[in-house]
Amino acid sequence: MRLVGDIGGTNARFGIAEPGNQPSNVRKLAIAQYPGLVEAVQDYLSGVPMLDEAVLAVAGPIVGDEVAFSNSAWRFSIEDVRIRLGLRRLVIINDLVAHALSVASLSPDEIGALKSGTRDPRQPVLVIGPGTGLGVAFLLNNAGTLVGVPSEAGHATFAPTDRVQTEILARLQGQHGHVPVERLLSGPGLLVIARTLAEINGQNIDVRDPRDVSARAATGECAICRETMKIFSSILGSTAGNLALTLLTRGGVFITGGLCRGLRPLLDRDKLTHAFIAKGPLRSHLEDIPIDQILRPHAALSGAAKYVKPSGGS
């Protein structure tokens, strides 16, 4: 049995699983309620039988022993956490790698189609997950063994594709200088798009939470919020298309995470698809790549349960 975890910028999710099986006893804890990872794990493990192995997926790059989160104040030493929790083995992997590793075990009712196409299981897969930030990973088929490859593509520079997006970028550059794609393609990004769009139109908008934007878009009461969802969908499609070209992901594209699961009825599929394939002469490389959505809750926990030490890895 192993402890599995998915630690993002806002919430940490934990479960117990036998390697390869689905996790049980899943709990979600708010990051802001704990000073660090150890305290959150100790809270989760209270009343749980003692475990000696853990695979934790984290939202951030993993280089050496020190782990710092991209969108959270938490940071830790892997060896220090292992010792303090009394674990024989602690493995830290990227959270989108964990999402990617869950893809092979998804049942048909846990996959929601957004764009039709033909998936080649021998080819790379792109997994993209807007959330507190933007996570990206790739899944490679290495002679029958699925290998997750982490990425920090969410911090790559945002590339606008139309006049409105260009104006949004210009205003954000004036405030921040570098504008990573996750500044727009994320939960907080919904607020950024809505507020900047209102500013461009000379209007005021009182939105304080991403759920304010989605709720007003759903009811149709706010034209700016409806337009925000169209822009978000277009940026999602364009960014996925750029990444799909980067590695020619003919194994398909999967959108993951709770944010887009909640936004699913509001995503503009036409704009998403158009932006995905609008790559000039290379359009033909993208037209047959399917885009699907992972509908399984806690997919990263499933991926952490399936993680297997790579040959020569840690």
What average pLDDT values come out for the chain (314 residues) when binned by 10 residues?
Answer: 90 88 91 94 86 91 85 88 94 94 92 96 96 94 86 95 97 95 97 96 92 94 96 98 96 95 96 98 96 94 85 50
Pairing assessment for the beta strands 2-7 and 11-17 based on DSSP bridges = antiparallel
Domain identity same for 279 and 167: yes
Q: Are 278 and 244 in contact (CB under 8 A)?
A: no
308 located within any domain: no
b/e burial code for range 39-76 (CB count within 10 A of at least 16 → b): ebbeebbeeeeeeeebbbbbbbebeeeebebbbbebeb
Domain identity same for 228 and 130: yes
User: Which domain-ending residue is among 52, 68, 100?
Assistant: 100
CA distance 64 to 60: 13
Single-letter amino acid, residue 1: M
Task: Find, among 94, 106, 134, 93, the residue nearest to 252 by Cα.
Answer: 106
**pLDDT on residue 314:** 47
Domain identity same for 230 and 129: yes
Number of domains in the chain: 2
Domain identity same for 144 and 78: no
Domain identity same for 111 and 83: no
Pairing assessment for the beta strands 253-255 and 291-294 based on DSSP bridges = parallel
313 located within any domain: no
For residue 231, what are the CA distances in angstroms to 118, 164, 237, 252, 272?
Answer: 27, 9, 10, 23, 9
SS3 250: coil
189 located within any domain: yes
Domain identity same for 217 and 252: yes
Q: What residues contact 107, with CB distance under 8 A and at least 6 apart?
A: none
95 located within any domain: yes
271 located within any domain: yes
Domain identity same for 130 and 48: no
12 located within any domain: yes
**pLDDT on residue 310:** 62
138 located within any domain: yes
Task: Find, among 150, 102, 142, 96, the residue nearest to 122 by Cα.
Answer: 142
Domain identity same for 63 and 152: no
What is the sign, positive or negative, of the torsion defined by CA atoms of 189, 104, 100, 247? negative
Domain identity same for 120 and 229: yes
Report the CATH number that the domain containing residue 283 is assigned in CATH: 3.40.367.20
214 located within any domain: yes
b/e burial code for range 138-177 (CB count within 10 A of at least 16 → b): bbbbeeeebbbbbbbbbbbebebbeebbeebbebbeeeee
Q: What is the DSSP letter of 46?
A: T
Domain identity same for 188 and 243: yes
Report the CATH number that the domain containing residue 22 is assigned in CATH: 3.30.420.40
Domain identity same for 34 and 110: no
Count Cβ atoms within 10 A of the Cβ of residue 310 and give its class: 0-12 exposed, 13-18 middle, 19 or more buried.
Answer: exposed
Domain identity same for 231 and 262: yes
Q: What is the pTM of this model?
A: 0.91
Crossing angle between the packed helical segments 187-200 and 223-247, to the nearest 10 degrees:
120
Note down the domain range covering 270: 106-295
**pLDDT on residue 151:** 93
**pLDDT on residue 19:** 73
